[in-house]
Amino acid sequence: MKPRKETFVQIVDDYVQEKRAIGYRFDKGPRTLRRIVDIQREIDHGAPRLSRELVDRWIEKTPWENETNRSRRISVLRGLGEYMVRMGYDAIIVPKRLTIVKDYDYIPYIFSDRELGELLGTVDQLCATGISTHSDLVFPVVFRILIGCGSRITETLQIEKKDVDVENGTLSLRNTKNRKERIIPMSESLVHRCREYVCNSQSISSFNSSQWFFPNKKSTPYNSGTVYCLYRKALRLSGISHGGRGKGPRLHDVRHTFAVRVLNKWVRDGKNLTTALPYLAIYMGHEGLTAGQHYLRLTAVMFPELIETVEKEYGWIIPEAYHEGD
């Protein structure tokens, strides 16, 4: 049933409200949409439709803009057209080939379940040899938090003892990138490892004298560089090829992998991603939905059998201008 709307302006206002309701900041989009409204008023006199004439005029390249800016401008109209068709209006959708903008060159590496298992096993073996003070206790738990919770390495290393609630199975991240505290759940197996870690660390003076959950021998948090060196060595011994500086897989790709695995499960379970993506954004500590949308695209790429479902059900969520990074 076609919704009760009378003017193009009302449709555009509803579109902006929907974008913001599902987590977009959508600051620049409304300015572009106001220009579209002005042209639509001239061509279609404010009627509730998106005509071919308007689309043809809008996609023309102006003398003062480059292809990237043109593509971004066009992507706004494409998003509006998809919304109007979804809501039952007469609208022309801009072809996808005109709107793709690639902002980053790096494509995250998504680890398979087997690779994650091998990586953890190798970390355990390396730590057992005594890389640093009680490393056999610290780093296996650090890597399990990275893999099981999707936290950033800096957030993880700056967890305080008071932040780990083994009774309720939660982890508080206070020292975060966006300065917003997050409380995230832990699996039963991770809670068990944290309990073991605390119990086995009681005899270590640096642990007892420190506020930090993962203190080094000076009772201060470990440097992320120490973890990265261990990670690179574990990759090599696990047979996971590294492309060199800037090529990956980066340590941060463990976090990307977590997000893609969550989305993979949600898609398979038939969850409504329109409402679920904002929760993922909050859980991961993102400001908006851009990263979540990119993860959705990666989910379709990494799990080909889900492509049809993702494109059919949630293609409208994914902007054509996409980011290959977090």
- Picking from 141, 67, 57, 52, the residue whose alpha carbon sits closest to that of residue 98 is 67
pLDDT-based confidence at 63, cuts 50/70/90? confident
Ramachandran angles phi, psi of 49, nearest 5°? -155, 160
Q: Is the pLDDT at 312 greater than 70, yes or no? A: no
Q: What local confidence, expressed as pLDDT, does residue 177 receive?
A: 74
Q: What local confidence, expressed as pLDDT, does residue 285 receive?
A: 76
Distance of alpha carbon 89 from alpha carbon 86, whole angstroms? 8
Mean pLDDT of 207-232: 90
Q: What local confidence, expressed as pLDDT, does residue 268 receive?
A: 77
- Picking from 12, 19, 7, the residue whose alpha carbon sits closest to that of residue 289 is 19
Pull the structure tokens for residue 218: 């000076």
pLDDT-based confidence at 298, cuts 50/70/90? low
Ranked by mean pLDDT, which of 56-65, 109-118, 170-179 comes out on top? Answer: 109-118
Q: How many CB atoms lie within 10 A of CB 280?
A: 21
Instruction: Choose between 237 and 26: higher pLDDT.
Output: 237
Sign of CA dihedral 279, 282, 287, 290: negative
Q: Which residues pair with 91 in a beta bridge?
A: 50
Check: CB of residue 146 under 8 Å from CB of residue 222. Answer: no
Q: What local confidence, expressed as pLDDT, does residue 308 receive?
A: 54
- The amino acid that residue 22 corresponds to is I
Ramachandran angles phi, psi of 322, nearest 5°? -125, 165
CA distances from 265 to 53, 115, 121, 270 (A): 42, 18, 24, 9
CA distances from 26 to 4, 19, 20, 68, 100 (A): 25, 7, 7, 18, 18
Q: Mind listing the pLDDT tens digit for each residue in 80-97? A: 999 999 899 999 998 877
Check: CB of residue 324 under 8 Å from CB of residue 294. Answer: yes
Poorest-confidence range of 3-7, 132-136, 199-203, 209-213?
3-7
Q: Which residues pair with 41 in a beta bridge?
A: none
3-state secondary structure of 50: strand
CA distances from 183 to 89, 204, 226, 231 (A): 42, 28, 26, 26
Q: Mind listing the pLDDT tens digit for each residue in 142-152? A: 999 999 998 99
Q: Is the pLDDT at 32 greater than 70, yes or no? A: yes
- The set of residues, in sequence order, having a beta carbon less than 8 Å from that of 110 and lying 6+ positions away, is 253, 256, 257, 260, 298, 302
Check: CB of residue 105 under 8 Å from CB of residue 246. Answer: no
Q: What local confidence, expressed as pLDDT, does residue 34 receive?
A: 93
Pull the structure tokens for residue 209: 């004298």
Instruction: Choose between 12 and 5: higher pLDDT.
Output: 12
Poorest-confidence range of 53-57, 161-165, 182-186, 288-292?
288-292
pLDDT-based confidence at 307, cuts 50/70/90? very low
Instruction: For the chain, give the mean pLDDT.
Output: 81
| Total count of residues recorded for the chain | 326
pLDDT-based confidence at 104, cuts 50/70/90? very low
3-state secondary structure of 321: strand
Poorest-confidence range of 18-22, 148-152, 194-198, 211-215?
18-22
Distance of alpha carbon 216 from alpha carbon 134, whole angstroms? 8
Q: Which residues pair with 101 in a beta bridge?
A: 321
Mean pLDDT of 220-236: 91
Distance of alpha carbon 298 from alpha carbon 323, whole angstroms? 11
Tally: H helices and E strands in the chain: 14, 7
Mean pLDDT of 214-242: 90
Q: Is the pLDDT at 275 greater than 50, yes or no? A: yes
